[in-house]
Amino acid sequence: MTDYKTLIDAETWAFIERTNSYYPPDTIDYTIAQQREIYDRMCREFFAGYHDGVAVETSAIATSTHDIPTRIYRSPLQAAVTVLYVHGGGFILGGLDSHDDVCAELCARTGYEVVSVDYRLAPEHLHPAAFDDLMSAFEWAAATPSHPILLCGDSAGGNLCAAVSHATRGHSKRPIGQVLIYPGLGGDRSQGSYITHAEAPMLTTRDLEFYNIRTGGQDGTGDITQSPLADADFANLPPTVLITAQCDPLSSDGEAYRDRIVAAGGRAYWFEEPGLVHGYLRARHTVGRARASFTRIVDAVAALGQGAWLW
């Protein structure tokens, strides 16, 4: 059994306990409506505010069937790069408010325009609804020819970013890079971190099984829009940085995805953050390890936006 008392430091334990006070580990057994209410309240409690100078505009992308809400963050630097940010939440939770301060800080620290996308959630909207919304958002952003597009997302959002990267390889305008933060990419659940960290604080394999509600119980084996690691071809993907948490059943997905890109001749870097847990973005102002990791994320976004490669 993994000894988390030795792997996780006191600061991170304090973050875990604070999170559990707002979002108890048994929340997965509640109704979807109750889970959303609890998650939204937790996100409000961790909200860290905006940096000075960040301008925010809430808007929407019109499609033929519905509007996709967005929130756009701009800094005085007005750098000509658009970051599409895709929030986590197991495909059933989250929205424009849940990652509001994360997007604002990413904008302030890189100078890039950040567009947060409020994709449709399951179970009301089953897969591929969220993927379709991200594709629509990408095509909307691609209509601005002067702005290269960089994808960034955490957890379920990292999954959606990778799926869009795979789907747009043949497009005339493709992502210039992607930064995937503790993403779930459809890895082999019979080995690696799925076994070692099956009962990790903040996310367990039981939680992951529940989040399969995204498909309505349908088997997504081989569907790269659901499980990017199922793709048979990893050539021509954008430069990719994967940043995972050591104490997280999803960590091995980052390693596997890195290996597949590199084997296909691409550029990818995977960093596993020691002693951190799934969802640590909310700890970036209180936990030293999380603060250092968020700086790594900011540096990765900034570098890829400039067409640079630091690793």
The whole-angstrom separation of Cα 27 and Cα 38 is 8
Based on the residue annotation, tell me whether 66 is a catalytic residue of this protein.
no
Catalytic residue among 248, 251, 252, 293: 248
Question: In the chain, what's the furthest Cα-to-Cα distance?
Answer: 53
Residue 250: in which H helix or E strand, if any? Answer: none
Query: Sheet holding 112-117: strands in order across?
Result: 55-62, 67-74, 112-117, 79-86, 149-154, 177-181, 240-247, 268-277
Distances (CA, A) of 284 to 11, 289, 293: 11, 8, 8
Catalytic residue among 101, 253, 278, 293: 278
Residues 6 or more apart whose CB falls under 8 angstroms from that of 280 comprise 12, 15, 182, 245, 273, 287, 289, 290, 293
User: Is 278 one of the annotated active-site residues of the chain?
Assistant: yes
Question: Any catalytic annotation for residue 207?
Answer: no
User: How far does CA 38 lie from the centroid of its chain?
Assistant: 20
Q: Which tokens in the block code for residue 227? A: 């499980």
Torsion sign across C-alpha atoms 197, 134, 61, 243: positive
Identified catalytic residue from 75, 98, 155, 293: 155
Q: H/E element holding 156?
A: helix 156-167
Catalytic residues, which ones? 155, 248, 278
